[in-house]
Amino acid sequence: MKLRRPAPAQHSETIIALIDVVLFLLIFFMLIGRMDATAPFEVTPPLATTGSDMPAGGATLAIAADGALALDGQALDRAMLDSRLAALLAEDPDLRLRVNAHRAAELRHVLPLVGAAEAMGFRDVVLVVTPADQP
């Protein structure tokens, strides 16, 4: 009687399924993640129930609780901010400016910047908020 060793199983099918799943997950995480530069300080946006969905795109101006500023993740002072905003506006006149102010930031640090951006020619300035449940 002759006994034969079984032929080694082909593993190619299982590896292809694994690659499919991993690629799918990779593309999923790359697509749903918005690559935003985070500010070099802590910013917790205020809570609001009437905010609307924020589409991607635009420049983000972060304002810390003590009034420190950062544009697209880069810390800068008030004098530099104007020139940087003017340069951004010259590149794209319809640029959206997202003002991401800490909820404890005093309005004297926030509102003059919104006014300055409007005077500079920004036509779309939004305040970033965290969605809250209806009371």
Partner 1 sequence: MASKVTLKRRSHNGPLISLVPMIDVMLILLVFFMVTSTYLNLDMIPAVRQQDQPAATAATPGRTGTAMIRLGADGVPVLRGQPLDAAGLDRALRDLLAGDPLAQVLILPSGSATTQALITVMDVATRAGVQRLRVIRLEARP
The nearest distance, CB 66 to partner 1, in angstroms, is 12
Which residue among 57, 73, 93, 131 contacts partner 1 (CB under 8 A)? 131
Kindly state the number of chain residues that form the binding site for partner 1, as judged by CB under 8 A.
50
C-alpha 75/C-alpha 40 separation (Å) is 7
Sheet containing 74-76: which strands, arranged edge to edge? 74-76, 69-71, 59-63, 96-101
**Among 124, 114, 133, 129, residue whose Cα is nearest residue 52:** 129
The helix (run of H) or strand (run of E) holding residue 59 is strand 59-63
The span of 1-9, 21-29, 74-82, 83-91 binding partner 1 (CB under 8 A) equals: 21-29
- Residues forming contacts to partner 1 in the complex (CB under 8 A) are 15, 18-19, 22-23, 25-26, 29-30, 32-33, 38, 45-54, 98-99, 101-108, 110-112, 114-115, 117-118, 122-131, 135
